[in-house]
Each structure stands twice: as structure tokens, then as C-alpha cells.
A and B are shown apart, each in its own frame.
Chain A
């Protein structure tokens, strides 16, 4: 069953000559109990899309449909806020610096659920343990925590209100491998038990591969490829996806030979070329790409690619 649907979302920042089209027509669905990985170059609009979905930014145009209802402007409704949570990219600026960890975790649960006090205390302890922090962390303030500890507090906070959808924006970027695996296992376990859906934004492709059912690749405000995870990693079709997947550093020196180095630089979102926005950097560019912008088209089962050379 579809839980979330984005219909032709646009989000433009600023006015006049200085407008930045951060998201440029994104369509996407997320099923109940599904994880969609969202990857793509820094600045391509992932966070912006996430913020639009949870209602923190209004889309310039387009619609977000959650559980069958248009949810624009629902942010102040407690039930919507309980059901949709976001883990922010920079936990140190999204957590209240004056709150102890226990207060940070208690707040959403008190506001948004009917949990009683002692139940709440237990829930806080349990959630902290699940993210690998002992109960002694309850009394700490954000300043007293390391980068990875903060990140785990942010994840714990999102879990407190038993949401149906969590947008996780780079949730494991400051975590080492073993804690990261543990968080992934935890998220999967919760998903199995409660059918929660995740939009998992990350630069870390190996983590995305482990957690996502499907992956969407973004470039300059548009989804250029979306596919089931293994199909995408085994056979990337869009030229940008191919370059992205080839650049992962590895401990094995033998692995480093086949890297595709992208030529040129990403165009500024304020000065996009006519036609395909990847044309200046694309190996497969041909005449049509400079005239007409490609659209997402089905190229296989559950697979869409936005490129003339593939369609």
C-alpha cells in the first residue's frame, strides 16, 4: 500500500535573479514498510525534498500525499507530526543545546503520544540502549556528546513517537562501521515489527545498499534514475549513476582501477543548460541532449531512467 506520494514537487528558493531551483519536478512513491534510498551529489536537493515531505518547507508547486491525503499545511497537527519524523543532517544544530538527552527524548513523546510517565521513562532507557548509549547518557547535554553520540540521540528522538514515516538525512555519517551496522539492524528490525517506511538520504552507498529496497538517484533537483537496489548496483544505467558508483573508496588497492572521473563541474542550479542538465559532463552526450530535456521513463521492471541514451 502506498504511504507517501510526491507529485511533481518543485521547490525554488529566493526571488528575482537569485532564485535557486533546488527541486525541479520530483515524482516518487513510498510503500508502507519500504525503504527508499536517496543518493546524489552534494547540493542536488535531497535535504530540501526531505523537508518538503515532512512539511517543514512548503513546495513551490506540486503535492505531497500522505496516507491518501494532501498534507500541505498539516505541520501544526500533532497527529501528522507524530506519524512523520525527520532525523536532521546536522544533529548538533537540530537538538536544543539546553536540553538534557532525557528531555530531548521525552518532549516528542509527551506532545504527541499518550504515554504515561513511568512508561515513558522505560521507553527512553530502552530506546537509548537500542542505539548503543547507556542510561548514563540521559543526563548529558549536546555539548558533552561526540558527533556520533549526538547522531544516535537524534535517531532515538525520531523513534520515540512510533512514527509511520521517518526521513533520515545522513543518519549514519558520523558513525563508525560497527555502530552503523547496529543502527541499520535496528531500523530494519523496527520496520519489520511496525511497518514503518524510511526515506534514507545518504552519501554512503554501501549503507544504502544494505538498507534500501529501492534507490533513487538525484542530480540537480531531479530524480534521474530509480530502481530496485540490487539492480541499480549491479547494472547502473544513467551515466551519472555509473560515475557515482565507480568512485567509492575501498580498502582494497586493486579495486581502484575502474573509477570514472567526471569531467567538468556541476552547473550552478541558477544557470542550468537547455536540455539535459548532465550534458556537460556526460560521455554519451549527443545532439538531442542539448535541445530537449529527457524525462523519467521505464526501462525495465520497477526501473526508471531519465536519459535518451538508455531509453
Chain B
């Protein structure tokens, strides 16, 4: 059974006919890391928030399903219900996700107290241990600090500690290491990997760093304009990108793209393929919505080009 599955998830501004996320589908197997990549504004965070049942006011889920271990988490009215032991998330904005009035040791401790059913002092000790584990020097002292007394990367690690403390079935990590230097980043990646191997959870790993994808992920889903364009094992994707957008994305890493091209985001009112305005292969068919189609047993691509053309 798949650990986690998102199917045809559609999300938009309440009352607007144009969805931001359009039929987003992907899955995560137990013990697997799925990377979600795509340019700024492509809908990665929105996808994660929808799956967590944390969409902001004014944004709603209008279709699709979110399943964990086979059970749908979507309740009537399009709300998602889950517990922290089922799914927990490392948020993209650490400062806004931490409680500014509470010492960070207590914040982590409380999560441990609830999820691992330990006593208060024991939880606090476990919290300090965990803060050490995410590489915070002087963890005991830092545990008594408030978030504003921490550096950007320290806040991020506190949040990682909180998410990990839940020992969830699915961990969602939204750009978890953007505020960390590469040496600490490597340490955090190891921590996430060891969580995966210890408790067999799955990870949805959101990033724009393809180096990190190559290092961390088993499979990858590529998003553009609120649509999943391609889903594939990492190695195959890096070696042979199929979707026109994936090709563009990989090229932008190896060679300098032309910045003079006016590229002002995606028009969410488009009914056709949202990559159409930049796609070198755009044709009449692209005015319709390209479904995610299996082109080989482990790969799915959303594009009207014929399978041979995608090869």
C-alpha cells in the first residue's frame, strides 16, 4: 500500500474560477523521500499546506483526495484532518512557525510530551538532546532562549527538531535547510534519512536545490504553474528529463539562462497547459489540460507531446 497519495488535488482562491493548484497528483511509498521541485510560485508550499489541512483563510480545496495509508483524510466541506503523529511539517518560514513568547526548549518539549507520552521534565531533557542532534551548539542554554534570540538557521533547526519529535508517518519538509550552511545541511539530511530508516516514514521534501535532490530523494515530482509536470525516479530524471519544463529547469542549472527574457510568472487563468507561454513545443492541442500520463512503469508526464517525442 502506498504510504501517502495525493490525487487530482485542486485548490484555489475562494470564489475564483481559476484554480492555483490544478489536479496535482503524486505519491510517497513507505521509507521513501519524494522531492517536490519547481520554480518560485509554482505551488509547492500550497500543495503541502493543503495536504496538512492548513490552507490559509480565503484559499480552499475544491477537489481531489489526500490519502494516508489508504485512508482518505478529506472530510466533508473539503477540509483535511490529520494528527501530528500522522503528518508533521517543517515550514518554509521558521520565524512565523515558532511561538515567539515561549522558550524553544519548551516548544520542542511539549511536542515530545504529547507524542511520546513522557513526563514534563523528561520531555525537556529529551528536547535538549534533540536540539543537540540538530547541531545546535550549547543546546542546554539555547533551550532557554526565545526564538528572537536565535539566528535564522537555529530557528530552522528548532523547527526541524519539533517536526522530527512527532515521529510522523509522513514528514513534510518545506525548504528545510535554506538558512543552513552546507556542513549543517549535510547533518540535517543525515538526520532525516536516519528517521526514515528507523521508523520507515515517508518524506515529502520541497526544495529548489537540485544538488540536494540528487543527494536526498528517491523520486521527484516537478511542478510548474500549480501543475505536476513530471514524476520520476531521481536518477532517470537527471539523466533524461522528459517534460519540456524539466528540460528547461535542468538547463538553467548548467548554463546561464537569458535573464532579459521577461518572465513574469504564470497566468493562473490559463485553461490550457500552463507552460504553454514558454514551451518551445507548444501546439494547438496545448489549449487543453494535459493529464498526467504514465510513459514508462516508473514515470508520469503531463504533456501533449507523443510518448516517442518525449523520449
In whole Å, how far is B90's beta carbon from the nearest beta carbon of chain A?
13
In whole Å, how far is A16's beta carbon from the nearest beta carbon of chain B?
12
Interface centre among A129, A175, A186, A247 (most CB of B within 10 A): A247
In whole Å, how far is B16's beta carbon from the nearest beta carbon of chain A?
12
CA distance A178 to B149 in the complex (A): 34
Contact yes or no, B96 A92, CB < 8 A? yes
Contact yes or no, A149 B40, CB < 8 A? yes
Contact yes or no, B252 A269, CB < 8 A? no
Contact yes or no, A244 B152, CB < 8 A? no
**Interface contact tally, CB-CB below 8 A:** 159
In whole Å, how far is A188's beta carbon from the nearest beta carbon of chain B?
10
Q: Closest B-chain residue to A266, C-beta based? A: B137
The yes or no answer to A205 lying at the interface (CB within 8 A) is yes
Q: What residues of A have a CB within 8 angstroms of the CB of B257 in the complex?
A: 178, 181-182
CA distance A175 to B259 in the complex (A): 14
Q: Interface stretch among A34-42, A77-85, A154-162, A230-238? A: A34-42
Q: What residues of A have a CB within 8 angstroms of the CB of B76 in the complex?
A: none
- B-contact 0/1 string along A252-267, CB 8 Å cutoff: 1100100101100111
Residues A26-64 near B (CB distance < 8 A): 39-43, 47
Q: Interface stretch among B4-12, B24-32, B181-189, B295-303? A: B181-189
Contact yes or no, B154 A42, CB < 8 A? yes
Q: What residues of B have a CB within 8 angstroms of the CB of A176 in the complex?
A: 38-40, 208, 249, 252
The yes or no answer to B41 lying at the interface (CB within 8 A) is yes
CA distance A250 to B209 in the complex (A): 9
CA distance A90 to B92 in the complex (A): 10
In whole Å, how far is B262's beta carbon from the nearest beta carbon of chain A?
7
Q: Closest A-chain residue to B263, C-beta based? A: A132
Contact yes or no, A249 B215, CB < 8 A? yes
Contact yes or no, A149 B41, CB < 8 A? yes
Q: Closest B-chain residue to A145, C-beta based? A: B41
CB < 8 Å neighbour of A90 from B39, B46, B93, B212:
B93
The yes or no answer to A302 lying at the interface (CB within 8 A) is no
The yes or no answer to B175 lying at the interface (CB within 8 A) is yes
Contact yes or no, B138 A42, CB < 8 A? no
In whole Å, how far is A281's beta carbon from the nearest beta carbon of chain B?
10
Contact yes or no, A244 B181, CB < 8 A? yes
Q: A176-B208, A247-B183 are in contact. Are A134 and B265 (CB under 8 A)?
A: yes
Q: What residues of B have a CB within 8 angstroms of the CB of A47 in the complex?
A: 151-152
CA distance A146 to B153 in the complex (A): 20
Contact yes or no, A182 B259, CB < 8 A? yes
Contact yes or no, A268 B141, CB < 8 A? yes
CB < 8 Å neighbour of B259 from A185, A262, A265:
A185
- A-contact 0/1 string along B213-254, CB 8 Å cutoff: 111000000000000000000000010000000000100110
Contact yes or no, B137 A43, CB < 8 A? yes
The yes or no answer to B1 lying at the interface (CB within 8 A) is no
Interface centre among A152, A185, A186 (most CB of B within 10 A): A185
Q: A41-B184, A132-B263, A251-B214 are in contact. Are A268 and B137 (CB under 8 A)?
A: yes
With A132-B265, A174-B92, A178-B39 known, 9 other A-B pairs at CB within 8 A are A41-B181, A42-B157, A47-B151, A92-B95, A147-B45, A148-B41, A173-B175, A203-B185, A252-B214
Query: Could you list which residues of chain A lie within 8 angstroms of chain B, going by C-beta atoms?
Result: 13, 18, 39-43, 47, 89-90, 92-93, 129, 132-134, 143, 146-149, 152, 169-170, 173-179, 181-182, 185-186, 203, 205, 243-244, 247-253, 256, 259, 261-262, 265-271
Q: Which A-B residue pairs are the 3 nearest by beta carbons?
A: A268-B138, A148-B40, A42-B153
Query: Could you list which residues of chain B lie within 8 angstroms of chain A, going by C-beta atoms?
Result: 38-41, 45-46, 56, 92-96, 132, 135-138, 141, 149-154, 156-157, 175, 178-186, 208-215, 238, 249, 252-253, 256-257, 259, 262-265
Listed A/B pairs (7) with beta-carbon separation below 8 Å: A43-B137, A147-B40, A147-B45, A147-B92, A175-B40, A178-B257, A270-B138
